[in-house]
Amino acid sequence: MADLPKDRLEPSPPFTYCGMDCFGPFIVKERRSEVKRYGIIFTCLSLRAIHTEILEEMTTDAFLNCLRIFIAIRGPVRHIRCDRGSNFVGAKNELQVGLQSMDEGKIKDELSRRQCDFIFNSPHASHMGGVWERQIKSVRSVLAGILDQNGTRLNTSALCTFLYEAMAIVNSRPLTVENLNDPTGPTPLTPNQLLTMKSDVILPPPGNFVKEDLYAKKRWRVVQYLANVFWSRWRKEYLLNLQAKKKWQDTKRNLKVGDVVLLREDDAFRNQWKLARVIETLCDDDGLIRRVKILMGDRHLSKQGKRLNKEVILERPIHKLVLLIENGDQDEF
């Protein structure tokens, strides 16, 4: 019998390789004052399980403390992937400022001491997170919708409980379809079973939780009602995401060096069209080009037709570019 690959002989523990994303802020009650809290989601790239925690503020130290909580619960992490916050465009400006103010060098240095790689995606390319970004997005969108409306009904402790309840719901989804038609067969495997090594389903507490519980003094009833709302909304969106879509299924021409492209930017000024030329292509393992480096065009030229300003070179995903001219041989613009 042929030797098995090394990764088959030595399987990685949960959350050894994971993706990460933040969301918020949300307003919660602390006694008589209102404070801001943020959420952070980790998703395992092998088990497709998620882990949620609370950030009290968007700072480097707060993130590192939250990461230490995650590692203390789930074990050491070897590889963490994260986008650059571009997926928060159009959301809260404060979250964007908080992400930009984080000291990326300090985070990488701190994690490197623990043999943990912290890797950022290309700018404006949150979709390159693939399966983990898709899972995070489905959870984050539902949580944000619920907490924006009902966050002030919770305090920090209740918010933490609610995030854990949402985590248990997402981790209860089936991962396999084996023996589904066999009534005597085992139940489908779920991330919760792999994390807890228990086959029992995590049931809600006894009782009937209705909308009127939002105005009750007992916050645990508020949490349980919101958990039911999350279950109802997330299940619908998750089932829709399982349906196949035609987007990105057809093979298209790869961008090549010399192509003239139009840069798509949501925050571009009126009547502003940014042109660029592809100067380098970044090939993925499957031979497809999903990222390129572009040289931005500049209208300010000298009488000799040379640039007056410094060249601007950016890295962008292909979905942010529109091909205008293939392998253009035009003069520098």
Are β-strands 33-44 and 50-55 bridged in parallel, bridged antiparallel, or unpaired?
A: antiparallel
pLDDT, mean of residues 220-247: 78
In angstroms, rounded to a whole number, what is the distance separating the alpha carbons of residues 225 and 210? 6
- Cβ(37)–Cβ(28) below 8 Å: yes
Residue with tokens 């985590």: 167
Strands in 2-161 per DSSP E: 17-30, 33-44, 50-55, 79-82, 117-120
In angstroms, rounded to a whole number, what is the distance separating the alpha carbons of residues 279 and 260? 10
Confidence of residue 124 (pLDDT cuts 50, 70, 90): low
In angstroms, rounded to a whole number, what is the distance separating the alpha carbons of residues 97 and 107? 17
| Per-residue tokens: 323 | 């091909």
Query: Residue 165 phi/psi, 5° resolution?
Result: -65, -40
pLDDT, one tens digit per residue, over 127-175 is: 666 666 777 777 888 888 888 888 888 888 889 999 999 998 888 887 7
| Per-residue tokens: 209 | 């939780």
User: For residue 2, is pLDDT > 50?
Assistant: no
The percent of residues in the chain predicted with pLDDT above 70, rounded, is: 72
pLDDT, one tens digit per residue, over 196-213 is: 888 777 778 888 888 888
Mean pLDDT of the chain: 76
Residue with tokens 């050491």: 76
pLDDT, one tens digit per residue, over 162-172 is: 999 999 888 88
- The one-letter code for the residue type at 206 is P
| Per-residue tokens: 211 | 């909308």
Burial call 138-148: b when 16+ CB within 10 Å, e when fewer = bbbebbbebbe
Confidence of residue 71 (pLDDT cuts 50, 70, 90): confident
pLDDT, one tens digit per residue, over 83-115 is: 765 433 333 344 455 556 666 667 667 666 666
> Tell me, what's the pLDDT at 238?
75
- Predicted TM-score (pTM) of the model is 0.65
H or E segment at 293? strand 289-296
| CATH of segment(s) 12-241 | 3.30.420.10
